[in-house]
Amino acid sequence: MEEVVVPVNHIERFSKVLDPELLSRYQQVTRSLRERFEGRTVWNVNTTAAGGGVAEMLHSLIPYVRGEGIDARWVVMEANEQFFGITKRLHHALHGSAGDGTPLGDAERRVFDEVTAANTIELLARVRPRDVVLVHDPQPAGMCDALIRAGALVVWRCHIGHDESNQEVERGWAFLAPYLKNVPALVFSREAYVPAALDDGRTTVITPSIDAFSAKNQELDQATIHSILVHVGLVEGPDGEDRSFVRQDGTPGRVDRQVDVVRLGRAPLWDTPLIVQVSRWDPLKDPLGVMNGFGHLVERGMAGDAHLVLAGPNVHAVADDPEGASVLDEVIAHWRELPHALRHRVHIASLPMADIEENAAIVNALQRHAAIIVQKSLEEGFGLTVTEAMWKGRPIVASAVGGIRDQIEDGEHGVLLADPSDRQAFAAALGKLLADPAWGETLGANAKERARHEFLGIHQLIKHGRLIENLDAVHDECGRPAELTHEVMQRRGSRLEEPRE
């Protein structure tokens, strides 16, 4: 297991963008947590330090907790390819899809348990009784019981889900639920994601968030955006001077690496409108569908001189996503089949991941420069890329799936596609936005306001703070940690995120 080094950050910077009442509510929650958790640690456990929404949120949220004098830490599980193959299959199942169609049976459970056991030994050497452990997503879920027995307060945080149950969803939860039966608090991103098997009074809904000041989301002026995009090779032009951004710890950073781009000929010009999707290379993000929809837009003569950029992480960098390389290969193979005139307008970009904040600054510049940001996912727990686009005030076209429906109201904060596989509707939405930039600006401005009021990190921090405080108070009432079972939580019968009187 590796511990991720997390800097310290101060919440006061939010005073620039938030109302003071919210800030003081946050400070109240953290003050009381600091007193309660003196000498104790709040651990986060997941499976990757880079790539994907969970890593993104942990990098941004933990520093603020540390900034309040609370010892919050982050450890990453170590696992082999076989384990990640199984957990990726599980991930697809919980999203309602069959993934590669492999089984989730006894043999898979044995591999899952073996890897879990090895990691649990290491984690137990660090965690002390009465520490809090936030276990993120299915991969480390098998550790919960041992942590509870060791006297830790365990919260399982699920970042994925599917609205309706189907055979795959049931298969996924049948595999996972046994590991969660003793966990006193379960957190989901949407009410609809709570599976029947776990809907027994210990669940809380907390909406994911973004950090307004991270390298991914901080303001960048046009000259810096230009210099970054030219330097990395995503836009054609003379190399500019200023490719700087501010790192999480306040020190200056600079974009030095370049992007690995598959394209025909030259990069688009600065004035070329870019339609951009940033995502892991995952079939559920539907990169082929984005390309086909863009093809349709061009065929119908509605694309003007727009180009498409499909951007994702360098495929060797995301430890818990073994599918990345094959999906990227498929995207490139599909691109090779496109007619020549279309192919020269489609750019497939693998972003460098060696320095995660440099990667974030490139994503930031690309999102800010995009004429339209798309997220044409077939399934989505909660699209962080959508919130990132909202915060940047960009026009968005996204699928009306999963959490995206909580983020965007169609026609108010962006355009939603009722059927994500409908490439004509996708092309029509893009065409309409390209033809009417003023409309896009209005949608973008509305989206930004909504992100400010609902989706910034401070909201999530307050809710998690209350949850942990309430859980600890119930724990005190129980006396012994192992008795803080879900039956106790059920008897208590109140939702954990509500303030205690």
The contact set with ligand UDP (CB under 6 A) reads: 52-53, 56, 216, 278-280, 311-313, 351, 359-360, 363, 383-385, 388
- The Cα 372–Cα 440 span in angstroms is 8
Q: Based on CB atoms, which residue is closest to ligand UDP, 120 or 385?
A: 385
Q: List the Cα angle 131/132/135 in 5-degree steps.
A: 135
8 Å CB contact between 328 and 351:
no
* Closest approach of ligand UDP to the CB of residue 324, in Å: 10
Q: Which DSSP letter does residue 498 get?
A: S
Pairing of strands 244-246, 252-254: antiparallel
* Closest approach of ligand UDP to the CB of residue 140, in Å: 16
Which value, in Å, is the radius of gyration of the alpha carbons in the chain? Answer: 22
- The Cα 138–Cα 118 span in angstroms is 16
- The Cα 98–Cα 58 span in angstroms is 28
Taking CA atoms, 143 is separated from 113, 121, 131, 155, 176, in Å, by 9, 9, 15, 11, 12
- The Cα 153–Cα 149 span in angstroms is 10
Using CB atoms, what's the residue nearest to ligand UDP? 53
- The Cα 115–Cα 1 span in angstroms is 11
Q: Among residues 94, 103, 192, 184, which one has the least CA distance to residue 145?
A: 184
Query: How many Cβ atoms sit within 10 Å of the Cβ of residue 36?
Result: 14
For every residue of 266-314, DSSP letters joined together read: SPPBTTS-EEEEE--S-GGG-HHHHHHHHHHHHHTT--TT-EEEEEEE-
Q: Based on CB atoms, which residue is closest to ligand UDP, 92 or 296?
A: 92
Q: Based on CB atoms, which residue is closest to ligand UDP, 132 or 461?
A: 461
AA identity, residue 80:
N
* Closest approach of ligand UDP to the CB of residue 280, in Å: 5
Q: Based on CB atoms, which residue is closest to ligand UDP, 86 or 489?
A: 86
How many H helices and E strands in the chain? Answer: 17, 16
* Closest approach of ligand UDP to the CB of residue 379, in Å: 9
Q: Among residues 110, 114, 140, which one has the least CA distance to residue 127?
A: 140
Q: Based on CB atoms, which residue is closest to ligand UDP, 95 or 171?
A: 95
- Structure tokens that stand for 232 in this block: 């990395």
Q: Based on CB atoms, which residue is closest to ligand UDP, 363 or 471?
A: 363
Q: Based on CB atoms, which residue is closest to ligand UDP, 306 or 363?
A: 363
Q: Based on CB atoms, which residue is closest to ligand UDP, 225 or 384?
A: 384
* Closest approach of ligand UDP to the CB of residue 40, in Å: 29
Q: Based on CB atoms, which residue is closest to ligand UDP, 463 or 466?
A: 463
- The Cα 84–Cα 103 span in angstroms is 14
- Structure tokens that stand for 412 in this block: 């108010």
Q: Based on CB atoms, which residue is closest to ligand UDP, 346 or 404?
A: 404
* Closest approach of ligand UDP to the CB of residue 346, in Å: 17
Q: Based on CB atoms, which residue is closest to ligand UDP, 168 or 320?
A: 320
* Closest approach of ligand UDP to the CB of residue 330, in Å: 17
Q: Based on CB atoms, which residue is closest to ligand UDP, 346 or 363?
A: 363
- The Cα 114–Cα 427 span in angstroms is 47
* Closest approach of ligand UDP to the CB of residue 52, in Å: 4
* Closest approach of ligand UDP to the CB of residue 142, in Å: 21
* Closest approach of ligand UDP to the CB of residue 117, in Å: 27
Contacts of 232 (CB under 8 A, 6+ apart): 255, 257, 258, 259, 362
* Closest approach of ligand UDP to the CB of residue 24, in Å: 29
* Closest approach of ligand UDP to the CB of residue 128, in Å: 31
